[in-house]
């Protein structure tokens, strides 16, 4: 369902692209115990299947013990093998239809669509469970144009497929977007601070205005 002014967005956590498993597991557990989280995304940059499997096993224990969904970036073949809840596709709408057929109706299939309304609408038509847009501001490394407030305003009014705002979020941007998105995806915004759970709670408070 589309966002409205009454319901606050849900929280969606994105792992760093690289992390030390034991330390990160503790940080993740602290975040999940601090406030309600809808979903966690394993977003390791590695293609090493053993490393991905060990990380997924550890995170699955933490998330499923708290009834939180765990999805993985792109690695469709690992979803069922590792007992995950679904996949987050980073190629827009391109593979949503095929992956939905592969994983079935019960799996979570999300699609990152940058700042493209067209990709977002196409992903929704192909039965994606959510689309994500971002980054929300310019980043030092990225060349993509940000997904601007107007996109989220339009999406929340016109489209029923849930959307995620992710990438380069700040407290001010969270305040601006909180009435226009269904989820906030927090990654480095919290993990690169001294206390991820405290930072997450600060973002959670910013959502309230």
Residue 66 lies in a domain: yes
With a CB cutoff of 8 Å and minimum separation 6, the contacts of 138 are: 146, 168
What CATH number is attached to the domain comprising 200? Answer: 3.20.20.70
Strand, coil or helix: 195? coil
pLDDT of residue 191: 98
Residue 1 lies in a domain: no
Rg value, the chain, Cα: 16
Residue 5 lies in a domain: no
pLDDT of residue 29: 98
Kindly list the averaged pLDDT for each block of 10 residues, start to end, along the chain of length 209.
63 98 98 98 96 98 98 97 98 97 98 98 98 92 85 98 98 98 98 98 95
Cα(86)–Cα(191) distance, rounded to whole angstroms?
Answer: 23
Through-space distance between the first and last CA atoms of the chain, rounded to whole angstroms: 21
Nearest one of 130, 153, 154, 134 to 144, comparing CA atoms: 134
Residue 3 lies in a domain: no
Strand, coil or helix: 150? helix
pLDDT of residue 171: 98
Range of the domain at 185: 10-206
Query: How many domains does one find in the chain?
Result: 1
Residue 100 lies in a domain: yes
Write down the pTM of the prediction.
0.95
pLDDT of residue 6: 56
Spatial contact of 70 and 85, defined as CB atoms under 8 Å apart: yes
The packing angle between helices 49-65 and 21-34, to 10°, is 30
Residue 4 lies in a domain: no
36 class by beta-carbon count within 10 Å (0-12 exposed, 13-18 middle, 19+ buried):
exposed
pLDDT of residue 142: 64
């Amino acid at each position: 369902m589309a966002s409205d002014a009454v319901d606050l967005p849900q929280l969606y956590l994105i792992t760093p692209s690289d992390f030390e498993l034991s330390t990160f597991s503790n940080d993740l557990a602290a975040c999940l115990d601090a406030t309600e989280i809808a979903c966690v995304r394993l977003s390791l940059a590695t293609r090493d299947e053993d490393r991905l499997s060990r990380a997924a096993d550890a995170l699955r224990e933490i998330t499923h013990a708290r009834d939180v969904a765990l999805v993985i970036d792109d690695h469709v073949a690992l979803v069922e093998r590792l007992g995950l809840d679904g996949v987050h596709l980073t190629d827009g709408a391109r593979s949503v239809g095929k992956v939905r057929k592969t994983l079935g109706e019960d799996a979570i299939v999300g699609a990152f669509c940058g700042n493209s309304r067209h990709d977002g609408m196409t992903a929704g038509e192909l039965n994606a469970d959510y689309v994500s847009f971002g980054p929300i501001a310019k980043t030092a490394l990225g060349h993509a144009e940000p997904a601007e407030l107007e996109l989220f305003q339009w999406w929340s009014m016109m489209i029923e497929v849930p959307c995620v705002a992710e990438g380069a979020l700040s407290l001010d941007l969270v305040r601006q977007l909180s009435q226009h998105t269904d989820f906030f995806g927090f990654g480095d915004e919290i993990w690169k601070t001294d206390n991820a759970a405290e930072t997450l709670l600060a973002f959670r408070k910013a959502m309230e205005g």
